[in-house]
Amino acid sequence: MHLTRKKDRHFILMILPVLLIGLVALFLAGGVNKGQAELEISRPADNCTSILVGKLASTDGSTMTTHTCDCGLCDWTWRHVPAADHKAGEKRKIYHISQFKTWPPQEGLKWDLYKKDFTGLEIPEVPHTYAYHHGMFGYLNENQVAIGESTIGVVRKLENQTPTPAFDITMLTIIAMERATTAREAIKIMGELAEKYGYGFHDSGEMLAIADPNEVWIFEIMPVGPLWTPKSGKPGAVWCAQRVPDDEVSVCPNESRIGEIDLNRPDYFMASPNVISCAVENGLYDPKSGQPFNWKKAYSPINESAQSSQGRYQRLWRFFDLVAPSLKLSPSTPNMDLPFSVKPDRKLSVEDVINFTRDRSYGTPYDPTTGIRGGPFKNPNYYRQTRTICDSRAEYTTVTQSRGWLPNPVGGLVWISFGSQDTACYMPFYAGITDLPKSFSIGDHWVLNRDSARWAFDYVDYHTQVIYSEAIKDVQAAQQKYEKAIIDQIPEIDRQAAELYKKSPKEAARFLTGFCLNNAQTAVKAWWALGDQLLVKYNHLYQYDVEKRSYNRRFPSFPSIWQKAVQAIDIMLEPEEKK
pLDDT for res 46: 59
Quickly count helices (H) and strands (E) in the chain.
14, 22
The DSSP code sequence of 238-287 is EEEEEEPPTT-EEEESSS----B--TT-TTTEEE-TTTTHHHHHTTS--G
Three-state SS at 201: coil
Give dist(CA 415, CA 311) in Å, integer.
28
Distance CA 139, CA 436 (A): 13
Pairing of strands 216-222, 238-243: antiparallel
pLDDT of residue 28: 40
The contacts of residue 572 (CB under 8 Å, 6+ apart) are 12
Question: How many residues make up the chain in this entry?
Answer: 579
Phi, psi of 115 (to 5 degrees): -70, -5
**Is residue 360 within 8 Å of 367, Cβ to Cβ?**
yes
Phi first, then psi, for residue 379 (nearest 5°) are -85, 120
Q: pLDDT 10s digit of each residue in the chain, 579 long? A: 333 444 444 444 444 444 444 444 444 444 434 333 334 776 666 579 999 999 999 999 999 999 999 999 999 999 999 999 999 999 999 999 999 999 999 999 999 999 999 999 999 999 999 999 999 999 999 999 999 999 999 999 999 999 999 999 999 999 999 999 999 999 999 999 999 999 999 999 999 999 999 999 999 999 999 999 999 999 999 999 999 999 999 999 999 999 999 999 999 999 999 999 999 999 999 999 999 999 999 999 988 999 999 999 999 999 999 999 999 999 999 999 999 999 999 999 999 999 999 999 999 999 999 999 999 999 999 999 999 999 999 999 999 999 999 999 999 999 999 999 999 999 999 999 999 999 999 999 999 999 999 999 999 999 999 999 999 999 999 999 999 999 999 999 999 999 999 999 999 999 999 999 999 999 999 999 999 999 999 999 999 999 999 999 889 888 899 999 989 988 888 876 665
C-alpha–C-alpha distance, residues 356 and 29, integer Å = 27
Write the CB contacts of 35 (distance below 8 Å, at least 6 apart in sequence): none
Say how far apart CA 415 and CA 483 lie, in whole Å. 10
Residue 477 burial (CB count, 10 A): 11
Preceding omega of 556 cis (within 30 degrees of 0): yes
pLDDT of residue 47: 75
DSSP-assigned letter for residue 228: -
Burial 196-228 (b: 16+ CB within 10 A, else e): ebbbbbbbbbbbbbbbbbebbbbbbbbbbbeeb
Instruction: Report which of 95, 140, 93, 138 is spatially closest to residue 113, judged by C-alpha positions.
Output: 95
Contact 105/71 with Cβ under 8 angstroms?
no
- Cα–Cα distance measured from residue 54 to residue 52, given in angstroms and rounded to the nearest whole number: 7
Task: Give the residues across from 217 on adjacent strands.
Answer: 210, 243
DSSP class of residue 438? G
d(CA 241, CA 188): 10
**Do residues 279 and 293 touch, judged by C-beta distance below 8 A?**
yes
Q: How many CB atoms lie within 10 A of CB 337?
A: 10
At 420, phi and psi to the nearest 5? -60, 130
Q: How many CB atoms lie under 10 A from the CB of residue 129?
A: 20
